[in-house]
Chains A and B, each alone.
With several copies, the nearest count.
Chain A
Amino acid sequence: MVKKKDYSAGLPDPTPIIDEIISKYPSKVAKKRKKAMVANDPEIDQPVQANVRTIPGIITQRGCTYAGCKGVVLGPTRDIINLVHGPIGCSFYAWLTRRNQTKPETETAENYMMYSFSTDMQDENIVFGGEVKLKEAIREAYKLFNPKAIGVFSTCPVGLIGDDVHAVSRDMKEELGINIFGFSCEGYRGVSQSAGHHIANNGIFKHVVGNNDRPREGKFQINLLGEYNIGGDAFELERLFEEAGITLVSTYSGNSTVESFAYSHTVDLNVVMCHRSINYIAEMMEEKYGIPWIKGNFIGGSSTAKTLRKVAEFFDDAELIEKVEEIIAREEAKVEAVKAAIKPKVEGKLAMMFVGGSRAHHYQDLFEELGMLTVSAGYEFAHRDDYEGRHVIPDIKIDADTRNIEELTITKTDNPELWRDDLVAKKAELEKKGYEFSHYAGMMPQMKKNSLVIDDVSHHETEKLIEFYKPDLFCAGIKEKYVVQKSGVPLKQLHSYDYGGPYAGFEGAINFYKEMERMLVTNVWNLVDTPWKSEPEIVGSMTINA
C-alpha cells in the first residue's frame, strides 16, 4: 500500500520525475518521450508532443484507426449495419464493448448494436481477394435484415490486398438501392484512434449528412457532437434539452440513427463535446452550410450550467433563457446538496488521468468541484490543440502519418435554402459581444502550475507516476485498471465508467460525486496488508517445527 502525499501547499516541480522516468529509456526513446512531458504552467504556452507514433515495444494505452472509426464514432449508431471487412477479431472486439447505450423509438425499431457483423476473411480471401465475399455478405445482410444503411469498415489486410471497399459499396448501393458506404480505416493508418475519428467524420459527412433536407422543426435546433452516450450520458442531456425546449436534432453519435445524421445539417448550432473525435464534422458543416459551432462541456454541474447558458445565449430568446435558468437553479440545488455532503470527505485527494481525447480534460471539472487535485493528466490520442488550445493549430506540423488521412475539401452548398446566411450573420454579431465560436482552450490552461502533462503515457511511466505521486485515484482504461489497482490505488475507468454512469449533466455530476465517495472513503484498501505483516513472530521468524 502506498503512503499518501500532501500537496496542499502546491505541486512540486515535476522535472525530476520526468528525468527519472526517461532515465530508463534508450536515449532515442528518452529524447522522444521527453517532448511528450511538460511541467504545466497555465500562464504560458508550452508545446506538447502529441499525435505522433508510439515507439515500438512501448506498452501504450493506444488502439488503432479502426477502433476510432468503427468502435468510437460509428459504433453507437443503431440503425445501420456496421459490417467489418476482415478477419473475425476486429469485429469481435468491437462487439458491445464500448457501452454506447441506445434506445430505439419503439420495441421493433431497428437496432443492430447487439450484433457483430463480419466477413470473417479466411486465408483464401487474403490470397485471392475478398471483394466477392464482401459483396455476398452485404447481400446476405440485406436479405436477412433489410436495413436502410450498411457501413463497411476496412481492417488491416483489406487495403494491403487491394480490396476496394468504396467501389464494392457503390456497386452494392446500386444493386440493393439502400445507402452503403465504406471506410478505409485500416488499423495501421495514423498513429492512434484519432485517424479513425477523422475518417469516420469524413465518411458520414460524405455519405449521409445532407441526404434528407426535411423541413426544420422547433424553434431552437442543435446537434450535439462528440457525445457517445457512455453509461447513458446522452440520455441525461436529452432530458435537459427537452425540458428547455431545445430540439436535439442529432447526436454524434450516442443514442443516434443514420436517419437523423441525414438531416442534421438543418440545425442552427453545433455543440461540440469531444473536440478531438468530432470537430471535423462541425468544421465541415460550417464550411458547407454556414452553421456555427461552439465547444460545450457537460461534465460537472457548473460546466453543464455554463454550456446550457451559452446555448441559450446563442438563441437569445427570453423564454428560453428563463427556462434554462429555472432548470439550472433546480438542478444545481440538488447537485450542491450532494456535493456538500461528499466534498469534505474527498477534498484534497490527488487524482491523475490518462485517457481519451477529451475526458482527461473535462473530468478535471468534477474533481475541482469536489476540491480534489489533478496532479497529472494526459490524453491517449489527442493533438496539440487539445492540450494547448486551438490557437496552436496553424503551428502544428503535419507529419507523414497524418498526411495520409484524407482531408475533405468542402465547398459551400449551392442550395440557397440550405446555406444559412442568418447564422453567419448571427455569429458575426455575437462574436462582437465576445461570444466564442469555434474555440477550444485546451486542457493545459485549466491545470495547476507544476501539474505534469504527459501525452500517450506508457506503462513504465504509469508505474513511476504512481510511485512518485502516490495518488488517491487514477483514471484510465481497462488495460490500466488492474495494473494500477495492484499497487493499492483505485482506478476509475473513464472510457467505460466502470459500467456506471451517467456522469454528464447534473444527474451525472451527482453520480460521479457518489462514485468518488464510494471509491475514496471505503476501507477495502486497508484489507490489503495482512495483519501479521507487522507481527514478527508470525512472519518467518519461526520455523515450522510441529
Chain B
Amino acid sequence: MLLRHTTEKEIDRKALTINPAKTCQPVGAMYAALGVHGCLPHSHGSQGCCSYHRSALTRHYKEPVMAATSSFTEGSSVFGGQANLLQAIGTIFSVYDPDIIAVHSTCLSETIGDDLKQIVAKANADGKVPDGKHVIEASTPSYVGSHVTGYHNMLQSIVQHFAIKTDEAKRQVNLLAGWVEPSDMRELKRISKMMGIKTVLVPDTSDVLDAPMTGKFEMYPKGGTTIPELVSMGDSMKTVAIGEWATKGAAIALDNNCKVPFDMLDLPIGVKATDRFIMSLSKAGAVAVPEEIDRERGRLVDMITDMHQYFYGKRVALFGDPDQLLPLCEFLLDLDMVPAYVVSGTPGKTFGKRMKEIFGDKIDQVKFKNGANADMFQLHQWIKQEGVDLLIGNTYGKYIALDEKIPFLRMGFPIVDRVGHSYFPTLGYMGGIRILEKILDLLMQYQDENSPEEKVELVM
C-alpha cells in the first residue's frame, strides 16, 4: 500500500493537515497573470515560492512558465522588501521587457507588512516603470484561502487596474473565467463566437499555456487578454462571471468601478450549468441561442440517455476546488450518479449552502467538507469506511486510487502525470461529452478487467 498508514479510524483533528486538497495563493496569482498578454508574474518573497510555483505550473501544463522573484534574503525579511522589489522592477523591465509586471505577495512579504501598493507607487514615482508599461499588484497571503483565492485576487487586480469606463458603450460582454484549462478558455471563446457575441475573456491562458512547438521560444506567447481589451471592459454591456470563488471580486470591481452589471454563475460543467451559462450569455449579448448550440447540447443529452445504465447509482468521491466541484456534483446527480464524498481545502461558507441547494433531498447521501480542515487524508478515510466506484480529483488522487483499486478521473489542479487536459475542454456541452467519455472509459475498463470470463461483454 502506498498510503499504508491511512486507516478508516478518524480522530478529531484541529491542527494537522494531511495530504491537502488545496495549495497556497501565490500560484493562483501567477496562473491568472499568465492569462494577460505580455505580462510577467512576479513573486514578492523568497526565491523558493517562485521556484515552486513555476515548477507546479510547468508540470501541469508542460509549458514554459516565466516568472520573476524578489529573492528575499534574511536582510530583506528584517528590513522589508521594498528595495528588492524596486530593484526587481528595474531589472525586469531592462532584461525581460514585459508590458506588464504582475506582482503578488507571499506569506513572507505579508507577514513583514510590505505594502505593495505603496512600493509600486514609488516605483512609478521613481521612473522605474517605462512609459506605456504597467506594474500591477495583488495581495495574496499564503495563510488565507487557497490557490483559488490567489487567482481571484490577481484577477480582481488586473481588472481594477485596467478597465476604464468611457462614454462609448461597447457591444461586448466581459467573460471572467474561473481557474480552468487553456482548452476551456479556448472553448469559451468558441462558444461565444458561435453565439455571435463579442466577448473579452479574462484571463485567457489559451495560446500561452498550450503554445505550439515552433523551434522558437517566446517569452510572451501569442495568447492572453491584451491591454486594449482589458481597458475596454469598463464599457461592456455586461459581465458574465463563471466560478464564484475565482471571479467574484473582479465582477464586483467592474460593477463598482465601471457600472458594468454582472451575472455570477457556476463554471459551465455539465448540462444544467452550461444551460445557465448559455442563457446568461444570450441575455447579456442580446442574441438568440443558435441551433448549433442546441445540437451540441443534444449530443450530450443523447450520450446521457444512451449510457445511463453505466452511470446510474455509481458512488463517486471528489476533491478539488469549489468552482469545479459544485457544477460537477450537479452534473453527476443529473446522471443519477451518487456523489458520496466531496472535499475541498478551499474555504468559503457558501460552499455548504450551494451543496444543499444542488443536492436537495439527496443531501443526506453525501459527506462533504471544505476549508482549512478538509483534506485528502480524511477523504481517504471515508473511502476506507465505505468504498466508491469512481474517484475524481487531481494527480494526488492516484495514490488513493491505486491503493483502493478505484477508477480515477483526473480533473483539477495539478494534473502532472497525464496530458490532454490543456488541449481538450471539460467546459460546455462538448466538455460534458469529454467528461462522460472519460467516466465511461474508466467504469467500462473496470468492468472489463474485473468481470469473470463468462461475463465479459463484447457490446457495452
Q: Which residues of A contact B (CB under 8 A)?
A: 1-2, 24-26, 29, 53-67, 83, 86-97, 99, 101-103, 107-108, 110-112, 114-123, 125-126, 133-141, 143-145, 155-157, 159-161, 186-192, 232, 400-401, 404, 459-460, 463, 477-479, 481-488, 490, 496, 498-500, 515, 518-519, 522-525, 527-532, 535, 537-546
| A-B CB pair tally, cutoff 8 Å | 373
Residue of B nearest to A96 (CB): B458
A25 to chain B, nearest CB (A): 6
Chain A residues lying within 8 Å of B17, measured Cβ to Cβ, are 88, 91, 116-120
Give the complex CA separation of A144 and B4 in angstroms.
12
B233 to chain A, nearest CB (A): 15
Given A87-B107, A87-B141, 10 other A-B contacts at CB below 8 A?
Answer: A57-B95, A67-B51, A86-B107, A90-B48, A92-B22, A111-B5, A119-B17, A122-B144, A400-B74, A486-B214
Chain A residues lying within 8 Å of B125, measured Cβ to Cβ, are none
For the complex, would chain A's binding face be called helix, strand, loop or mixed by DSSP majority? loop
A104 to chain B, nearest CB (A): 8
The tally of residues in B whose CB lies under 8 Å from a CB in A reads: 123
B396 interface contact, C-beta 8 A? yes
Contact, CB under 8 Å: A59 / B66: yes
Contact, CB under 8 Å: A499 / B13: no
B353 interface contact, C-beta 8 A? no
For this complex, 7 residue pairs linking A to B, each with C-beta atoms less than 8 Å apart, are A56-B71, A88-B20, A88-B22, A108-B4, A188-B46, A460-B96, A485-B305
Q: Contacts A486-B216, A527-B334, A542-B288 given: A189-B96 contact, CB under 8 Å? A: no
Q: Contacts A89-B26, A108-B4, A187-B108 given: A524-B335 contact, CB under 8 Å? A: yes
Contact, CB under 8 Å: A157 / B15: no
B59 interface contact, C-beta 8 A? yes
Chain A residues lying within 8 Å of B76, measured Cβ to Cβ, are 188
Give the complex CA separation of A338 and B50 in angstroms.
41
Residue of B nearest to A482 (CB): B64
Q: What 8 pairs between A and B have smallest CB-CB spacing?
A: A64-B48, A89-B24, A57-B91, A57-B88, A187-B46, A87-B142, A136-B15, A156-B108
Q: Which residues of B contact A (CB under 8 A)?
A: 1-5, 11, 13-20, 22-27, 42, 45-49, 51-56, 58-59, 62-77, 84-85, 87-92, 94-96, 106-108, 110-112, 141-144, 146, 171-173, 196-198, 211, 213-218, 271-272, 275, 278-279, 282-283, 285-289, 294, 297-298, 301, 304-306, 308-309, 312-313, 334-336, 345, 372, 377, 396, 399, 453-455, 457-460
Q: Contacts A62-B47, A122-B144, A478-B59 given: A57-B87 contact, CB under 8 Å? A: yes
Residue of B nearest to A111 (CB): B4
Chain A residues lying within 8 Å of B278, measured Cβ to Cβ, are 532
Chain A residues lying within 8 Å of B96, measured Cβ to Cβ, are 59, 459-460
Contact, CB under 8 Å: B66 / A528: no
Give the complex CA separation of A143 and B14 in angstroms.
13
Contact, CB under 8 Å: B91 / A55: yes
Give the complex CA separation of A143 and B7 in angstroms.
12
Give the complex CA separation of A522 and B216 in angstroms.
19
Chain A residues lying within 8 Å of B345, measured Cβ to Cβ, are 88
Contact, CB under 8 Å: B143 / A122: yes
Give the complex CA separation of A138 and B172 in angstroms.
55
Contact, CB under 8 Å: A143 / B455: no
Residue of A nearest to B416 (CB): A97
Give the complex CA separation of A64 and B54 in angstroms.
13
